[in-house]
């Protein structure tokens, strides 16, 4: 039962303790069993509270008028959500926004590898993992009579 109820939060505690220092086991229990419920109660309290004018406090931030301030706030959240879900539905939709695409990165890696091979061939150093290296018969030490 401990594995199901507390293993994940105690693993988190162990990972964080290696970075931030000592964390008591009580911290892990509070994180799992108390703090989420307290945050939920605070949110419900905020959502149910009203302003002095009788309007709900949630959604009437700072007493600003609904149009355009509140509506723009809601639309900003909706727009960000739309961008997120478009990215989930069509993963390549935002490829045009990158400065460098994958093909360019791959081409740069290939040219870098060819430059390394060129410099290695100039110095006489051969990469033992390069199975595609071409050697002339004279360099390989095989005479034409044997071949």
User: Which are the contacts of 112, defined by CB distance < 8 A and separation ≥ 6?
Assistant: none
111 has pLDDT over 90: no
Residue 21: per-residue pLDDT: 93
Average pLDDT over residues 114-123: 60
117 has pLDDT over 70: no
Q: Which residue has the higher pLDDT, 124 or 12?
A: 12
Average pLDDT over residues 93-99: 83
Q: Are 8 and 20 in contact (CB under 8 A)?
A: no
């Amino acid at each position: 039962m401990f594995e199901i109820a507390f293993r994940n939060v105690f693993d988190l505690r162990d990972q964080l303790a290696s970075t931030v220092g000592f964390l008591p086991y009580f911290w892990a229990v509070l994180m799992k069993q108390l703090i989420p419920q307290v945050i939920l109660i605070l949110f419900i309290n905020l959502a149910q509270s009203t302003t002095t004018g009788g309007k709900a406090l949630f959604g009437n931030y700072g007493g600003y008028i609904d149009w355009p301030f509140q509506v723009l706030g809601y639309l900003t959240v909706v727009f960000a959500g739309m961008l997120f879900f478009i990215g989930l539905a069509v993963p390549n939709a935002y490829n045009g926004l990158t400065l460098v695409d994958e093909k360019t990165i791959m081409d740069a890696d290939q040219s870098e590898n060819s430059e390394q091979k060129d410099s290695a061939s100039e110095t006489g150093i051969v990469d033992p993992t390069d199975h595609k290296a071409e050697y002339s018969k004279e360099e390989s030490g095989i005479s034409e009579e044997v071949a």
